Amino acid sequence: MVENSAPAAPLAIVVLAAGKGTRMKSDLHKVLHPIAGRPMLDHLLASAEELAPRTQVVVAGHGREQLEQALGARATIAVQEPQLGTGHAVQQAQGALEGFAGDVLILYGDVPFVRPETMRAMIARLHEADRPAVVVLGFEPADPLQYGRILAHDDGRIAMMVEYKDATEEQRACRLCNSGLMAVNSADLFDLLGRVTNDNAQGEYYLVDIVNVATLDGRTCAVIRTDDPDEVGGINSRGELAEAEGRWQARRRRQAMVDGVTLIAPETVFFAWDTRLGRDVTVEPNVVFGPGVTVADNVVIHAFSHLEGATLESGVSIGPYARLRPGAVLKAGSRIGNFVEMKNAVLGEGAKANHLTYLGDATVGAGANIGAGTITCNYDGYFKHRTVIGERAFIGSNSALVAPVSIGADAIVAAGSAVTRDVADGELRLVRGEQLVKPGWADRFHDAMKKKKADAKKGG
């Protein structure tokens, strides 16, 4: 592939996303289905944004209200109704590009993993000495299937492009396939589109025909190739979505290990698009990272843990079977163990909660110990309230801390206590019913019940 830096000309991105996505069998717009916790359209736009486009247009049809809500002000929505082909779809962006002079990069919302380097190479080829009217991204898949074909000379100049349904057997023997991605100067784009006809097997206005129109004008059109067919793989069904997720996860796992992370069973670990891991992190089997997780160096994440929106500082250990929800922050050297859940809570340096605990809307001081079965009772049915636990405090097992409540530094809450009022520094808080002792009562009870059971059997 051609290697180039970003061009100086202004750039517009046009993303085609007007298809109905019927094969997904979903009420959610196809391009909003997530991969690694991020809508596929956002994967594509994030790559495009590295080229600093002046404007972005998304061509929508079915489900455009969902796209408008998801995109907000990030892109202009152009509506294609009815859908009369890819060439017709790009024409709908003409109003949004009124007055724009520069390069136009045409992408597809269901082809989410086009690399910024590939986009740059397409635009740069547009500015080479022969000034091609259109640059097309081609690829050679293992099985060409029913992709359109690019008939090109050895130097990359395109002789002709043809859709599979309109191709002869000789043309179908060509293995260079059309990805659908194109770069065109705005001064040429809509003039070429205006001369495209629908005289083809589908009765549609094909975007690829702008190449044939330009060629008939005596203009040069060029193809550059990606050496990674997965980069231009479209997603049209749940199965293809799962395959894309699998490929993304496989790449991310390999990169994590290259960066110094130990994955005990890599195929069982799932990352989100923005997961950040430090060096010498160990991740045991069956761990899932949701969006928004940052992990510092020398952290151990034990098996079957789930993390989302959490920050783990250096030397932290969590799990197995830990759940970190958004707003969980574990300071350096802190530790949570099996079946501990944290949400919107901070665990201070060296603090620990080793078993069966819920810490919600809480701040736990450095060195504090949270006993098994402790619950911060943070919700009264209407509002959330906060619990503050001081440094080196000791919370005994099976304690309920009813927020809002503060536990002072070095304080001790005795096991089984239900604390509803603040505990001062260094104080012991014991909240239990008085124990009643009746010597011999249990023996007499057992004897009476055994006799009653025996009498019942005789009577029966």
Known catalytic residues are 355
Half-sphere exposure of 408 (CA within 13 A, CB side): 11
| DSSP symbol at 196 | -
- 2 to each of 39, 137, 222, how far by Cα in Å? 29, 11, 12
Phi, psi of 36 (to 5 degrees): 55, 40
The residues, any chain, with a CB within 8 Å of residue 275's CB and separated by 6 or more, are 252, 289, 293, 295
- Phi–psi pair at 259, nearest 5 degrees: -85, 5
H runs (alpha helix) in 12-115: 40-49, 64-71, 86-91
Q: Which long-range contacts (CB under 8 A, 24 or more apart) does 144-151 make?
A: 144/172, 144/175, 144/177, 147/177, 147/178, 148/177, 148/178, 148/180, 148/208, 149/174, 149/176, 149/177, 149/178, 150/174, 150/176, 150/177, 150/178, 150/223, 151/176
Distance (Å, whole) CA 97 – CA 68:
18
In sign, the C-alpha dihedral spanning 71, 75, 77, 80 is negative
Contact 291, 309 (CB under 8 A): yes
Cα torsion angle, 112, 115, 116, 119, sign: negative
Q: How far apart are CA 317 and CA 334, in angstroms?
A: 7
- Residues 286 and 303: beta-carbon distance below 8 Å: yes
108 near 15, Cβ under 8 Å?
yes
Cα(134)–Cα(64) distance, integer angstroms: 29
Chain CA centroid to CA 86, Å:
28
Rounded to the nearest 10 degrees, what angle do helices 186-193 and 209-216 cross at? 100
Neighbours of 263 (CB within 10 A): 19
DSSP at 94: T
State how far Cα 50 lies from the chain centre: 18
Alpha-carbon span 378 to 342, nearest angstrom: 12
- CA distances in angstroms from 394 to 319, 354, 388, 426, listed in the order given: 21, 13, 13, 10
